Structure 1
């Protein structure tokens, strides 16, 4: 009985585990963010490194960027608007933003 309980607990933890920041780059690709955001250079939108550089040292950047990804926005890097991203979960957006802010 103890083994079954341990297996059920382990399976439950695996299913409810948060998305890790390491998964952020894969999520950026999965959600087609890289169509407009390249690693370094500006294309349709700013490069990921450009975003990381702009917000380096800003303690509130992650929360603001997470909101911008969810709701969309424009004006930080030019007039091209970014559409709202409604498909990724909040945990996925958090992981994507963490990956962006860690871009070197």
Structure 2
């Protein structure tokens, strides 16, 4: 009977984790749309800026990937992905930039 209880707890935990991930994913996309990130980026294809999937893949191995991307989101950059600069997004709070960075890293 205990193994059934453990299995039920594990299943509930997995479901909750999946639901939390789905909620975070939807929240990240909504924030990206709200802050006009999707005017230059797409999740899966290069547009004016790189595909966010490609950004996630490029930085997946960095220990400081979330902090690095959060900084780049707020400060902007040029030359990393080609000649088109990414403008600074000074309207974002550090928490919003961190949320966007964390979401982007889930897209790999």
- Assess same fold via TM > 0.5: yes
Indicate yes or no: 2:76 matched with 1:100: no
Aligned-residue offset at 1:86: 1.1
| More helix as a share of residues | 2
Structure 1 unmatched ranges of 5 or more: 1-20
**Equivalence for 1:32:** 36
Runs of 4+ in 1 over 4 A off after TM superposition: none
So what's the TM-score if we normalise by structure 1? 0.76
Shift, 1:62, TM fit: 1.2
CA contact (8 A) 1:24 1:92 kept: no
Equivalenced residues, count: 84
Distance 2:92 2:74 in 1: 8
The alpha carbon displacement at 1:77 in A equals 1.0
Q: Which residue of 1 aligns with 2:17?
A: none
Matched, 1:86 2:95: no
* Aligned Cα root-mean-square deviation (Å): 1.3
TM-score after normalising by structure 2: 0.73
Greater RCO structure (CA 8 Å; 6+ sep): 1
